[in-house]
Chains A and B, each alone.
Chain A
């Protein structure tokens, strides 16, 4: 079973951009969601974790092994799906997996072949095994990316923005797959800016904002913070823009007489509104909005407000 420990992680790029500031996290078995807007530092953290980037400062351990001194061993334990994943366009699907399987020292040939076929089946690509990568759809490529992370049964899976570009059906399939994986006692670090990817699966989430950990805890805790601050109301069409400008609107659904609006705010003063049970998305938006309003809040490891 894997365990990732991050203490005092800092990273400053040569351009002067401070991508991570004093990050402390403990990531154990199950799906760990890493949320944050674009540019928050998620990908930087991931690249450090999978030993493709050397941190400026701090300590990262994987199963007790410090990444600076044990890169080989750590690389062996991690399966990685990058944010933008493509593959060698002239290789067939099975060939690509075979290549990765070889690099993962999976052998002999018969065993490797059996494993490749299994993961292809797992991700629903068995029928496309002889198709060249350039002929796969976006969703199929993404599934192929998942498939290669599964090769060799690594203890830790790091998945960066897994559902970008996928259609809803593919997304559902992907989430189900992740759930199955979570049941196998693996550490799955899921980095995304799409709340829906983690709301149903994660046992623990961290929110990154401008390189810092703004929140670290179970999703319920984040959701609880938005209780009493999540509202549902109906507004006339002509008032919608005004509402959007004053409140953090989560969703707008057309209805009789206007729009049914779901929003988060400390209070709603523009007409009748019903307080509703917040979900993770509500809580995320509320959290990010409130840290926007009070920049001195949101220190590492603590909640937003």
Chain B
């Protein structure tokens, strides 16, 4: 009998038996049903979070196949071990075993039967997915995406997850033990070790970065094939290895030995692939380290300046050939015997000429060292033509970024996309300067910073020879001339530029010209889902763009410097990282903004109105005052404006209210924070802000002026929600101990992103400079200076002249202290008032407050005002624009009384403590509109007096905050580790945050967890502890050492969240409280009125600040236990009528010494907050 016949017979009947087992049927049904539901959830448009699934052809296959892999992995374990049970039954198996076939044929037949069955299930799932994909969604379809995912992910996993239990079963002959081992491996792979070591141990292919892009398919699949091939081979080895273990005499002598050897060889090959992968990763890291090491000695070498660079590039499928004509000048004072240039190590230099003369050069890795016939004298130029060709070695990019961060793929839910620094393929090319695709003098910024930080502007031209099917995009307006089946496109930017980029692909180009600037949109052919979505406003786009642009430029004070602004769609895997010397990520190039595929990393790219909102073409009546009708054009206008504001002008990640993000509270977000802000077009790429002497000045200016265009007030919602507090806390903790110099040099080990630290310090520097100069017109003078220095480097002398024109400043000294200083100041702000005031004949508005800096370090405060009448200045629903802002220097150990007089009422006032121990660092000032007494004169200015610390217990007042020593948490209970692990798996792409601001109230944690927002009481850190309500057994306590025995009023601090409609939502700071009826142990009338508190804010004050959507989160009640001389006394207070601030618990007679108050977690509502408690001795 032939082997094929035996194998197919065993396979056929193995499959039949399994197909008839209830285990398989139930599993298969559950799998099909579950995946069908997932697919339907993704494709139907209710959930904004799933936009990526609806937009990307590669997303749905990837999600489905990854989930399928996990299901079938589990199933395979159970079903593959069935044969152990069956084969142990001699009564059945002897009849089969007595037939004439080899053990190998038998085992292979069984494997094939199982494999075939799962293959059929996979194909069924894929068929269902494709049907839904093609007929029930508008997602672009690419069969190759399915085939690629199936071949690379499903097949190897299937072979491995069948082979493993088959082998273990043959070895151990115990079904339960095999279950345990196999499922443990599954768990390890999915939860613990899978994502690490570049997914080498990811048996399920769950984490390995693989993604089909419409731009370039799966990309280079060599390393991927090796990684997955490892599991394929290992699976095959395990299947083979189970043959000698079969309890049946082999048909032929030596059979077991031969098969065993083959199994070992396959296993060795698998291990070799895995080891090769790991070795490859190590080799890549070593390569980068070698480049860094080699470059270290060259950092301070003098380099020529690049005056002009003319590039002629020819695209030849997966390689390029190019010629770069460079004009280099020696702007130093010493001759240059050698000229050092850098070029991607994957590109081979064919030759260098100067005129007609060949010039010798040395090429080593990324360096091209040119030795001209004579040294380049100071003040002279040289022309060089460099011919080069080859491919791009992506390891050369981002040499300043940590290896782990580079190796981390882009993750959106279950999708893991390999991040690439450059693309060079037959159908697509993307070169940004990071890839080093053209020769540049010296070393790239990634190797120079912070030792060198210069930036220069050069004249660039680019000529691209490519197939006619591909469209080239670069800086400058272009002209294309056909030549057969190829085109030559020439780019001639009108202004000098610091760098150029190139994209080449099957783009469709759409442009609109507005006021001498061409606005372009380059989308991959077939990706245009947007022009239909915005069809109603097509004619008015120029007006919309003009209004947005004007709005930005009025605030910024600078005009757009280029003739072109193009949004260019690029592959999803295009990498960009935060840099230390600029706020610009690689997505923003001069004149270009690179938007990853279909805008899936952008907010609102689907251009859909909110849930329940009107659809395109539908006119609806707005159920608001006046019954105004909203038209589809109105909706599209709003969506367009929001998209531009959020993605290109504001901060990323803005909330689009009304859209449901995702079902079941799943967190679906990307693990990157891309930035597409247009500010670099005005600054980074138009101004030579960076300089060797003050390498971070440029960054500081970008941050500062970026804040001008996008002040904190616009981010009011995020600020008010307290999002990002945990990172802020960590940054503060870091800066208390370390200086910026420590951070830049890497001397301080931290996992906080360096950009977060430098952004905070950068903002501080500019506000500090401004406050020291004490010039209200500082911002205006600054932008004037910048506008006068476009497209040129600004040197130290020019900066010094500028600052001396504003009153003089020791910039060197200031920057030095700023770099090297450690520690942070802190501020208390209280006594906040606002009232109308008569100033001569005019009605004006007074704002005053007191700020205390009790620390030994000076600090700065920035105050932004939004005044009535300025709202709505940006069209189409944009956020309000602040009219005024002030900066104050607060010396150490000083109390400042600050007065500000405004022409308009401030609707919102935001204080930014810039760089301080305060958490939150930015908060809104609440006001109370009290009427001033007669004759109150306006006060605009600052008076200072020394700070005298109050002794504890002064005026008989003792406050214990949750940040103080006297506060105690209970022992932490057993955490729900399983829940956390599951959350981690399901929330792919985002970290599980511990403090997500006030949104944590919606899903309060099981244990007391810190929460920081301005609502809470605190000195510098305004925090409280939050916990899910419980039975009352779990308690926190505050203990104060009272100096004297006596009658005390006991207060708790109420944050004022939740509550009914119309209730104020934002607590004041140190506000007075109403006491709605505290209980007194001795009976008598409830205490009312105000306690003896510091602030004198009256009752009935109206709050400022954005209303929050937490009305549903009622505070319920608080149950305190006061430990007095007569024992513990339990008091429950209804918080329905509690006011923000101090609320009375009751009056007690307390002894001197330690006195404790406890708060239990008992509450009929969802959560309990523990903040601060105050004892006030009654006189």
Contact = CB atoms under 8 A, between A and B. Distances in A.
A88 B90 contact: no
A69 B97 contact: no
Contacts of B91: 82, 84-86
A78 B94 CA distance: 13
Interface in A93-115: 95, 99-100, 102-105, 107
Interface string A43-58: 0000000111110000
B253 A69 contact: yes
Contacts of A72: 100, 102, 251-252
A92 to B, nearest CB: 10
B9 A51 contact: no
B16 A51 contact: no
Contact of A102 (B9, B20, B252, B253): B9
A78 B98 CA distance: 8
Given A71-B249, A84-B90, A148-B95, A107 B9 contact: no
A179 to B, nearest CB: 23
A103 B101 contact: yes
B483 to A, nearest CB: 63
Given A86-B89, A87-B92, A103-B6, A80 B17 contact: no
Contacts of B102: 72
Nearest to A105: B1
Contacts of A91: 13, 16-17
A145 interface: yes
Contacts of A73: 100
Contacts of B251: 71-72, 75
Contacts of B99: 75, 100, 103-104
B386 to A, nearest CB: 71
Given A88-B13, A105-B1, A105-B5, A100 B95 contact: yes
B94 to A, nearest CB: 5
Interface string B84-117: 0010011110111111111000000000000000
B248 interface: yes
Contacts of A86: 89, 91-92
A145 B98 contact: no
B21 interface: yes
B95 A104 contact: no
Interface in A32-67: 50-54
Interface string A118-153: 000000000000000000000000000100100000
Contacts, number: 86
Interface residues of B, number: 32
B5 A80 contact: no
Contact of A88 (B92, B248, B250): B92
B95 A145 contact: yes
A81 B2 CA distance: 24
Contacts of A148: 95
A100 B94 CA distance: 12
Given A52-B249, A105-B1, A75 B100 contact: yes
Contacts of A104: 1, 99-100
Contacts of B86: 88
A72 B251 CA distance: 5
A69 B251 CA distance: 9
Interface in B1010-1061: none
Nearest to A133: B92
Contacts of B95: 80-82, 85, 87, 100, 145, 148
A292 B174 CA distance: 42
Contacts of B96: 99-100, 103
Contact of B9 (A50, A53, A68, A99): A99
B644 to A, nearest CB: 64
Contacts of B89: 86
Contacts of B21: 90
A76 interface: yes
Nearest to B251: A72
A73 B90 CA distance: 22
B100 A52 contact: no
Contacts of B100: 72-73, 75-76, 103-105
A54 B256 CA distance: 15
Nearest to B10: A103
B111 to A, nearest CB: 17
Contacts of A51: 98, 249
Contact of B248 (A52, A80, A85, A145): A52
Nearest to A107: B5
Nearest to A83: B91
Contacts of A107: 5
Given A82-B90, A91-B17, A102 B5 contact: yes
B783 to A, nearest CB: 82
Contact of B20 (A80, A90, A100, A145): A90
Residue of B96, B97, B249 with most chain A CB atoms under a 10 A cut-off:
B249
A99 B100 CA distance: 13
Nearest to B94: A82
A45 to B, nearest CB: 14
A81 B17 CA distance: 22
A75 B251 CA distance: 9
B967 to A, nearest CB: 66
Given A72-B100, A82-B94, A53 B249 contact: yes
Contacts of B20: 90
B98 A88 contact: no
A100 B9 CA distance: 9
Nearest to A148: B95
Interface string A190-211: 0000000000000000000000
Contacts of B249: 51-54, 71
Contacts of A84: 90-91
A90 B22 CA distance: 11
B1 A75 contact: no
Interface of A: 50-54, 68-69, 71-73, 75-76, 78, 80-82, 84-88, 90-91, 95, 99-100, 102-105, 107, 145, 148
13 contacts: A68-B253, A71-B251, A72-B252, A73-B100, A75-B100, A82-B90, A87-B95, A88-B13, A90-B21, A91-B13, A91-B17, A103-B6, A105-B2
Q: Considering the complex of A and B, which 9 residue pairs feature the smallest CB-CB distances, nearest first?
A: A105-B1, A102-B9, A75-B100, A103-B99, A84-B91, A86-B91, A90-B20, A76-B100, A80-B98
Given A52-B248, A103-B99, 11 more contacts: A72-B100, A72-B251, A75-B100, A82-B90, A88-B86, A91-B16, A95-B13, A102-B6, A103-B1, A103-B101, A104-B99
